[in-house]
Amino acid sequence: MKVDVVLGLQWGDEGKGKIVDVLAKGYPVVARFQGGPNAGHSLHFEDKKFVLHTIPSGVFRKGTLNIIGNGVVIDPIIFREECLQIETNGVPVRERIQISKKAHLILPSHRIIDAASEASKGASKIGSTLKGIGPTYMDKTGRNGLRVGDILADNFLERFGSLKSKHISFLKQFDYTYDINEREAEWLEAIEYLKGFNLVDGEYLINGLLAENKRVLAEGAQGSLLDVDFGSYPFVTSSTTTCAGACTGLGVSPSKIGVVSGIFKAYCTRVGSGPFPTELNDHTGEELRRLGFEFGATTGRPRRTGWLDLVALKYAIMINGVEQLIMMKSDVMDTFDTIKVATGYLVDGAESNEVPFDTFAEVEPVYKEFKGWKRDLTKITEESDLPFEFMTYVRFIEKETGVPIKIISVGPDRDQTIFR
């Protein structure tokens, strides 16, 4: 068997949590491969809503094993909070979750460095979620990090103290006031909680499951336009959010990657700083935010909104080798008279179909207009009932990208999902 991958093609918040929860019904294994508590994946079912940050979105499915891969960074405090919340809803978390020993730990001091670094950048800040993601991945690649497996070692506290001291030295460059001990006691308690889980060699576990013919669904966090290499650098996150991240973040060979599904919203959103060519700073943008309830699932910040950008979407499809698309939140535009889609960029007066290297370059989107469908999509369950104008929009995206849209989501609930 192979690892099927579901990942976001825009700037995150495409609806990955919802779709992974829906698809997890057919997968005995779901695995997160990168990111950490910067992610907020929302799930709605049976009139309940959950937001997951570290835990894979298959956790509510009985019989599905959820693996937190080596590519993920874990804040034990946030992980414990998530577990306790879903446990009170009857989910046996210790049975359903296993954690790679090679996943890195977010220390309280990583969060302080994140905040100090952002504060020092002033107006050019990244707009980080301040969860310590960047500093933790810096320590990983800088070969200073602490991993989940390390918590079992006798000298763990010593190593924790040593990394904390390094962070105190590093923080001297910033003019930033902090309390290094804030959260420390709670963090150490949460480390004890973490010890109650199955801490595993994730790469052996996953390859073993594949050898036993078990289907694995890899769940991405963030989106391709936030990828550390291919996103709008430096306004990106610090991990590989693209398909290659599933290999490095789980320990599977590229030859073991199966179907790659790319998720996108029928429009665009972005939270945090950085370029956003199709951004709408007008009434339509406000309507997208209001009707789509576009506020960060992790930070509560209002999300920036704009029209669908096909140049960026095609770029993300290319980088990831996307074979099928999943379109989310079309229902948000149910009342719109007109819908626009960017089909190209004007760069220095010439039309281009490529994302420019210099993401600060002034690009002006070239738009194609569509007539709105002006119908409520949220109760539709069959493709044949979808309005003609809506299907015109869908077919145009399929034609431009050359990739079929296999799932259309028409609301946040599990049941508001149309398979084609």
Binding span for ligand IMO by CB under 6 A among 11-19, 83-91, 247-255, 347-355: 11-19
CB 98 within 8 A of CB 197: yes
Binding span for ligand GDP by CB under 6 A among 6-14, 124-132, 148-156, 227-235: 6-14
Helices (H), 232-358: 244-250, 283-291, 310-320
CB 113 within 8 A of CB 145: no
Q: Could you tell me the smallest distance in angstroms from the CB atom of residue 370 to Mg ion?
A: 27
Q: Could you tell me the smallest distance in angstroms from the CB atom of residue 242 to ligand GDP?
A: 15
CB 131 within 8 A of CB 37: yes
Minimal CB distance to ligand IMO: which residue? 272
Q: Which residues are paired to 31 by β-bridges?
A: 67, 218
Helices (H), 38-101: 76-87, 93-96
Q: Which is nearer to ligand IMO, 41 or 386 (CB)?
A: 41
- The site map against ligand GDP for 330-359 (x = CB under 6 A) is -xx---------------------------
Helices (H), 122-211: 133-141, 156-171, 184-194, 202-211
* CA atoms of 138 and 167, how far apart (whole Å): 12
Out of ligand GDP, Mg ion, ligand IMO, none, what residue 18 binds, judged by CB under 5 to 8 A for its kind, is: ligand GDP
The interface with ligand GDP within residues 256-295 (CB under 6 A) comprises 293
Q: Which is nearer to ligand IMO, 39 or 191 (CB)?
A: 39
13 φ, ψ to 5°? 60, 30
Residue selected from 133, 225, 341, 380 as contacting ligand IMO according to rule CB under 6 A: 133
Out of 13, 75, 139, 227, pick the active-site residue: 13
First to last CA, the chain: 24
Q: Which of 213, 201, 283, 180 is nearest to 3 (CA)?
A: 213
The interface with ligand GDP within residues 39-78 (CB under 6 A) comprises 39-42, 44
- Specify whether 283 is catalytic: no
Binding span for ligand IMO by CB under 6 A among 122-130, 245-253, 279-287, 379-387: 122-130
Out of 21, 41, 104, 331, pick the active-site residue: 41
Q: Could you tell me the smallest distance in angstroms from the CB atom of residue 182 to ligand IMO?
A: 19
- Specify whether 41 is catalytic: yes
Residue selected from 3, 30, 271, 312 as contacting ligand IMO according to rule CB under 6 A: 271
Q: Which is nearer to Mg ion, 167 or 329 (CB)?
A: 329
Binding span for ligand IMO by CB under 6 A among 31-39, 81-89, 151-159, 243-251: 31-39
* CA atoms of 31 and 57, how far apart (whole Å): 9
* CA atoms of 63 and 78, how far apart (whole Å): 24
- One-character DSSP codes across 377-419: -TT--SGGGS-HHHHHHHHHHHHHHT--EEEEE-SSBTTSEEE
Site size for ligand IMO, by CB under 6 A? 24
Is residue 262 classed as helix, strand or coil in its secondary structure? Answer: strand
Out of ligand IMO, Mg ion, ligand GDP, none, what residue 328 binds, judged by CB under 5 to 8 A for its kind, is: ligand GDP
H or E segment and range at residue 275:
none
Residue selected from 73, 151, 226, 341 as contacting ligand IMO according to rule CB under 6 A: 226
Out of Mg ion, ligand GDP, ligand IMO, none, what residue 226 binds, judged by CB under 5 to 8 A for its kind, is: ligand IMO
Site size for ligand GDP, by CB under 6 A? 23
**Tokens 């907020």 correspond to what residue?**
40
Q: Quick one: how far is CA 153 from the chain centroid?
A: 31
Residue selected from 126, 151, 226, 410 as contacting ligand GDP according to rule CB under 6 A: 410
Q: Could you tell me the smallest distance in angstroms from the CB atom of residue 372 to ligand IMO?
A: 27
* CA atoms of 179 and 317, how far apart (whole Å): 44
* CA atoms of 350 and 194, how far apart (whole Å): 55
Q: Does 118 bind ligand GDP (CB under 6 A)?
A: no
Q: Which of 271, 270, 269 is nearest to 301 (CA)?
A: 271
Would you please indicate which residues are annotated as catalytic (active-site) residues? 13, 41
- Binding site residues, ligand GDP, CB under 6 A: 8, 12-18, 39-42, 44, 293, 297, 328-329, 331-332, 409-412
- Binding site residues, ligand IMO, CB under 6 A: 8, 11-13, 35, 38-41, 126-129, 131, 133-134, 221-223, 226, 237, 271-272, 297
